[in-house]
């Protein structure tokens, strides 16, 4: 059994009782950054062994992990924050487990996407999740496609590229398009800032430095 276990994106209390129990019971835990995960485990007095599993070693590790799972081990996979497989390592292992007949159980839990989407106040009966955009090649093409999309869409972005992203959305779309920047979700300095793209460019452009993990939610065209 492979357990896919979401972890808090901010507040450590955003951890389910089931997630805590499973992390205590499994053979070991695959973690994106063992130092980050150890702080969470220590908080809940979880002593299970951690093994590194991230974008740089997942291709090499998948075959061995599947063999161990087929041998009867129960393993959990977590990321630094949120649900593994969503802009973090996990997809390759989950796909390999399905192909090998290994049972995968994915727990519901913390993610930055849904709170940001709901908090934005924009229509969310249908939406598009883009994740992280490419930094260079293909970036403009993707943004031009997104601003023509009829439904609300959400983008993950780093703080040092936030203003650049807002300007690109305004340039290729409409400066008056409604959007919301959600920052530091569930953390002490959580911020959800709605406005037009032009207003958000002015607001964040005037700040000396933007901090935290960011989700940008933008209204669909029309």
Provide the residue-wise pLDDT of the chain in tens; the chain has 222 residues: 999 999 999 999 999 999 999 999 999 999 999 999 999 999 999 999 999 999 888 889 999 999 999 999 999 999 999 999 888 889 999 999 999 999 999 999 888 999 999 999 999 999 999 999 998 899 999 999 999 999 999 999 999 999 999 999 999 999 999 999 999 999 988 999 999 999 999 999 999 899 999 999 999 997
Please say whether the beta carbons of 64 and 88 come within 8 A: no
What φ, ψ does residue 124 adopt, rounded to 5°?
Answer: -130, 20
Contacts 24+ apart (CB under 8 A), 54-57: 54/89, 55/88, 55/89
In the three-class reduction of DSSP (H, G, I as helix; E, B as strand; rest coil), residue 34 is classed as helix
Q: Closest Cα to residue 204, out of 160, 144, 147?
A: 160
Task: Look up the pTM and report it.
Answer: 0.88
Q: How is 127-161 classified by DSSP, letter by letter? A: EEEEEEPPSSTTHHHHHHHHHT-SSEEEEEE-GGG
CA 82 to chain centre: 5
What is the predicted pLDDT for the residue at 113?
93
Confidence (pLDDT) at 176: 97
pLDDT value of residue 161: 94
Domains of the chain: 2-106 (3.40.1010.10), 113-218 (3.30.950.10)
Confidence at residue 38, expressed as pLDDT on a 0 to 100 scale: 96
- For residues 135 and 114, give the distance between their C-alpha atoms in angstroms, rounded to a whole number: 24
pLDDT for res 33: 93
Quote the CA–CA distance of 221 and 211 in Å, as a whole number. Answer: 29
| Residues comprising the chain, all counted | 222
173: burial class by Cβ within 10 Å (0-12, 13-18, 19+)?
Answer: buried
């Amino acid at each position: 059994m492979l357990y896919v276990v979401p972890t808090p994106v901010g507040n450590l209390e955003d951890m389910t009782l089931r997630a805590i129990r499973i992390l205590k019971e499994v053979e070991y835990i695959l973690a994106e950054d063992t130092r980050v995960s150890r702080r969470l485990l220590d908080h809940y007095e979880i002593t299970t062994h951690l093994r590194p599993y991230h974008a740089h070693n997942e291709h090499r590790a998948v075959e061995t992990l599947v063999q161990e799972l087929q041998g009867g081990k129960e393993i959990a996979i977590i990321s630094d924050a949120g649900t593994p497989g969503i802009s973090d390592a996990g997809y390759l292992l989950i796909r390999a487990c399905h192909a090998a007949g290994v049972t995968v159980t994915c727990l519901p839990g913390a993610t930055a996407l849904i709170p940001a989407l709901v908090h934005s106040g924009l229509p969310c009966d249908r939406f598009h999740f883009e994740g992280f955009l490419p930094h260079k090649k293909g970036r403009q093409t993707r943004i031009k496609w997104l601003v023509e999309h009829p439904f609300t869409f959400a983008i993950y972005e780093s703080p040092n590229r936030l203003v650049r992203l807002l300007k690109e959305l305004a340039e290729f779309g409409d400066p008056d398009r409604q959007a919301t920047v959600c920052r530091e979700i569930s953390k002490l300095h959580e911020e959800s800032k709605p406005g037009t793209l032009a207003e958000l460019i002015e607001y964040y452009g005037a700040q000396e430095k933007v901090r935290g993990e960011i989700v940008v939610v933008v209204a669909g065209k029309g």
